[in-house]
Chains A and B, each alone.
Chain A
Amino acid sequence: MGMTITEKILAAHAGKKTVAPGELISSKVDIVLGNDITAPVAIKEFEKIGVPDVFDKEKVVLVPDHFTPNKDIKSAEQAKLLRSFAKKHELTNYFEVGRMGIEHCLLPEQGIVLPGDVIIGADSHTCTYGALGAFSTGVGSTDMAAGMASGEVWFKVPESIKFVYNGNDLNEWVSGKDLILHTIGDIGVDGALYKAMEFTGPAIENLSMDGRFTMANMAIEAGGKNGIIAPDQTTIDYVESKAKRPYKIYSSDDDAGYDAVIEYDVSQIEPQVAFPHLPENSRPVSGAGNVELDQVIIGSCTNGRMEDLRIAAKVLKGHKVHPDVRLVIIPGTQEIYKQAMKEGLFEIFVDADAAVSTPTCGPCLGGHMGILAKGERALATTNRNFVGRMGHPESEVYLSNPAVAAASAIMGRIVGPGEVE
């Protein structure tokens, strides 16, 4: 029997010809990533191992993006730990505020993660890089510490579920976000527990890189170990100008084994909204009913990329944000920030009465830059709507794509872009 793309990448990094689901392997890692919440714990654990240096100073990446620019003294102390560690170990890839971006927008943009890589990150949305055809998964701080010291990590080879998105054209205002929210709604928040989610089909082939990142990003919201999309010309066009080292293209064999194959007809999928308090509570925006909003967030590692900002601007142009709503827009990286500025998107945003922030994870995890009070309700292009995720435990978060978020900010309630008057 053949192998899936996930199995092939893991076999290559374990020095084996083949691997099979369930097999325990020790895999070499190409990149080990941490942020200002998880790396402080990892650094403490790393010191306990007692090795003088990280395994490769070019392959350990630290991005202080969660509570930065630092929101309080404690978070400043945590960021300082990263800064000192990066200096001491002469890390090539440490990104200070001003060069920093949301890690999962930043690493692909900087060509740090590439097709065929094995990547571990002490952040659950590390699965984002699977969009490039890499095996990429979230781990905890102790695994990060062990990875920094040894350049290796143990894995159980996951079973794969193949998702096939049939149909060439997405409906108007439908994006990668809607495909993945629909999928999570179908299989549930543990529907792919411990498994690889392989996204395939004509609709994926036609999807932009930004849309693919959004889909792979949310694999963890179905419990997945990784999300993955086989590289094609779209991938190669994206990485060619960014890659500073060789990379390898893998794809699944025709006779590869899958735990399940799940097919969707994209013509049946309209823009989605996930209701509180789980991403699986997704439904078509047309069935949202009358949900009035206090805040709208457009940004995050899920939807803070150029395509997302362009769509938001298209909807917002010439309109004003509803008087009862705060709209905060957060470009994912400095490069995205600059490009959006060049394209005149900030003028559209500011004219619409939106606040534009420097890159940060900020409100997505209830850190800063838009925290909700008791009883408040937000629509966000982020990835989680758990209880208390964006602030007070009695606040509510709804999830959508950037077009729905922008339209809803204008109307003051959850609506599709077609309903903007």
Chain B
Amino acid sequence: MEFQGLTWKFGADVDTDAIIPARYLNTSDPDELARHCMEDADPEFPNKVKSGDIIVAEKNFGCGSSREHAPICIKAAGISCVIAKSFARIFYRNAFNIGLPILESAEAVDGINEGDEVKVDVDNGVIYNVTKGTSFKSTAIPPFMQELIDAGGLINYVRGRLNR
């Protein structure tokens, strides 16, 4: 899996209420949720973001509630992947479960400015800053998470096991 896109930078502890405020949680329709993606962190974000763009954030991205609507709306907004120094636990699980690629790399976050063009090689965990000509290694994905990805997500994995 490879992606290339322009980056949007966010600070530390971006919570799931900032990613998708609860006032929009009376629906689970991905496209409707995408129209409010990151709205309370940057009200203009849903209008600015383009398909293939990449979110880059400081530590503890996705902290707070368990709402899967958070990774769902990021994916539906066209974001190809999220790079952060660290992810909150439930967001991390949810992102894998719904198929939103996420990568951990403190060096990459420090080495990327907003608007830089970045290429991500998810399988090998390499992040290239095309604008600056630099590259970074991300923390390896745990083998079981890789198994989930290979199966096409948790639902396919469980379906395969239960219907065997």
Contact = CB atoms under 8 A, between A and B. Distances in A.
A41 B28 contact: yes
Contact of B60 (A67, A121, A193): A193
B106 interface: no
A261 interface: no
Interface residues of B, number: 44
26 contacts: A41-B69, A44-B28, A48-B155, A49-B155, A50-B163, A122-B68, A124-B66, A126-B66, A139-B93, A141-B94, A142-B98, A143-B94, A149-B158, A154-B144, A189-B60, A190-B63, A193-B86, A193-B88, A220-B90, A223-B60, A223-B88, A366-B22, A366-B23, A367-B22, A386-B15, A389-B17
A78 interface: yes
Contacts of B27: 74, 78
Contacts of A366: 17, 21-23
A19 B89 CA distance: 20
A140 B94 contact: yes
A190 B59 contact: yes
Interface of A: 24, 37-38, 40-41, 44-45, 48-51, 66-67, 71-72, 74-75, 78, 121-124, 126, 138-143, 145-146, 149-150, 154, 156, 189-190, 193-194, 220, 223, 225, 278, 365-367, 384, 386-389, 391, 393
B25 interface: yes
A150 B27 CA distance: 26
A146 B66 contact: no
Interface of B: 13, 15, 17-18, 21-23, 25-28, 39-41, 43, 59-60, 63-69, 72, 86, 88-90, 93-94, 97-98, 142, 144, 153-155, 157-159, 161-163
Contacts, number: 141
A190 B87 CA distance: 9
Contacts of B13: 189-190, 278
A190 B39 CA distance: 23
Given A44-B28, A72-B26, A49 B162 contact: yes
Contacts of A126: 66
B97 A223 contact: no
